[in-house]
């Protein structure tokens, strides 16, 4: 008789005694279906909180992820760019030329430029840009100046892929002081362009070339205009201009992992707290001995 009474009470739980289902906040409803619906809404809303990818988020994602910043990029850089050797058909015959070329590449710090650009090209944007700077009054290359990839857009003629231009939109400080006011500068590197800086040396020929290009392609960004030739730009692309950056596909995973790490104390507290139940299971509707319907969770009560 006692055994039958125990069985009856086990299969006929009262609604008010059922544990809450899913992650709930605030006052818990006595309606298990309401709690279940609330859990589904919580999961749906959580999945919909996708980050909006922009250059700032890409950079921040790279900075906060130790695996990418501390392991993947350094490893790739050291393995792929550990050194270089110049080889010819006859190294002995061209020994002096090899020595001169090697010294020149070291002088312009070519390998250092590749290593510095690796995170931009491989991870952050998929692009790398360097500007050739020449020695004053000479055609001898002095150095390769890095240009911030996120500030540059590449334009290509829709009918001729050989015609490529680069636009750099930057905020330049007015002075060498902390929190200096800035001016917006539009730098254009166009095919067959000549050096031109507004209000400094207005070369009529350089301006004429730019005006023709601006009219043909509808260029409107001309604040504090600076113009030069597209041949001065060395561009490397891992993805096509306008396509998502390599890091975009893993940004969500980075932030979900970071969210989990940051909230792990809260998560542990909620799981271990005896008065807050975060459980995952199924609800089974049953009919007891008296014909009353009820719900039984697959997760047993404490």
Predicted pLDDT of residue 8: 41
Predicted pLDDT of residue 107: 82
For the chain, the farthest-separated pair of C-alpha atoms sits apart, in whole angstroms, at 108
Average pLDDT in the 186-197 region?
93
- Which tokens sit at 39? 């859990």
- Domain limits for position 164: 147-231
How does pLDDT run across 17-35, given as a tens digit for each residue? Answer: 444 444 444 445 556 667 6
The rounded distance, in Å, linking the Cα atoms of 115 and 235 is 15
Predicted pLDDT of residue 198: 76
Assess if residue 82 is contained within a domain. yes
* Number of CB atoms found within 10 A of residue 30's CB: 12
Assess if residue 202 is contained within a domain. yes
Check: CB of residue 145 under 8 Å from CB of residue 131.
Answer: yes
User: Lowest-pLDDT range, 16-25, 87-96, 99-108, 113-122?
Assistant: 16-25
- Is 264 found in the same domain as 226? no
Average pLDDT in the 245-264 region?
82
Check: CB of residue 294 under 8 Å from CB of residue 12.
Answer: yes
User: Lowest-pLDDT range, 12-21, 138-147, 268-277?
Assistant: 12-21
Helix (H), strand (E) counts: the chain: 10, 10
* pTM assigned to the model: 0.65
Q: What is the dihedral of CA 155, 156, 158, 159, to 10 degrees?
A: 150
DSSP label of 240: -
**C-alpha of 282 from chain center:** 38
Assess if residue 12 is contained within a domain. no
Judged against a pLDDT cut of 50, whether residue 12 lies above it is answered with no
Check: CB of residue 163 under 8 Å from CB of residue 273.
Answer: no
- Is 255 found in the same domain as 110? yes
How does pLDDT run across 37-87, given as a tens digit for each residue? Answer: 776 776 667 666 667 788 888 888 888 888 888 888 888 888 777 777 888
Q: Confidence band (pLDDT; 50, 70, 90) for 11?
A: very low
How does pLDDT run across 140-171, given as a tens digit for each residue? Answer: 888 889 999 989 999 999 999 889 999 999 99
Assess if residue 260 is contained within a domain. yes
Assess if residue 255 is contained within a domain. yes
Structural domain total, the chain: 2
Residue 213 φ then ψ, to 5°: -65, -40
* Number of CB atoms found within 10 A of residue 246's CB: 16
- Is 154 found in the same domain as 195? yes
Average pLDDT in the 254-268 region?
75
Average pLDDT in the 285-290 region?
82
């Amino acid at each position: 008789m006692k055994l039958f009474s125990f069985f009856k009470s086990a299969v006929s739980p009262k609604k008010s005694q059922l544990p809450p289902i899913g992650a709930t906040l605030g006052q818990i409803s006595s309606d298990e279906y309401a709690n279940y619906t609330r859990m589904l809404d919580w999961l749906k809303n959580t999945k919909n909180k996708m980050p909006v990818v922009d250059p700032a988020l890409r950079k921040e994602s790279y900075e906060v992820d130790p695996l990418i910043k501390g392991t993947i990029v350094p490893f790739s850089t050291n393995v792929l760019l550990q050194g270089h050797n110049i080889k010819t058909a006859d190294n002995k015959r061209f020994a002096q030329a090899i020595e001169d070329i090697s010294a020149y590449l070291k002088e312009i710090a070519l390998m250092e430029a590749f290593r510095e650009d690796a995170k931009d090209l491989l991870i952050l944007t998929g692009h790398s840009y360097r500007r050739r700077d020449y020695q004053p009054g000479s055609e001898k290359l002095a150095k390769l100046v890095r240009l911030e990839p996120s500030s540059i857009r590449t334009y290509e003629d829709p009918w001729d892929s050989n015609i490529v231009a680069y636009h750099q939109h930057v905020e330049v400080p007015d002075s060498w002081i902390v929190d200096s006011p800035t001016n917006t500068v539009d730098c254009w590197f166009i095919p067959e362009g000549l050096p031109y800086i507004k209000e400094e040396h207005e070369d009529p020929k350089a301006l004429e070339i730019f005006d023709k290009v601006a009219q043909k392609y509808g260029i409107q960004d001309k604040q504090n205009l600076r113009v030069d030739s597209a041949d001065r730009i060395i561009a490397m692309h891992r993805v096509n201009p306008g396509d998502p950056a390599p890091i975009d596909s893993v940004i969500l995973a980075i932030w979900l992992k970071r969210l989990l790490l940051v909230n792990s104390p809260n998560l542990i507290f909620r799981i271990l707290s005896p008065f807050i139940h975060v459980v995952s299971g199924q609800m089974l509707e049953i009919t007891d001995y008296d014909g009353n319907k009820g719900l039984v969770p697959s997760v047993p009560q404490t």
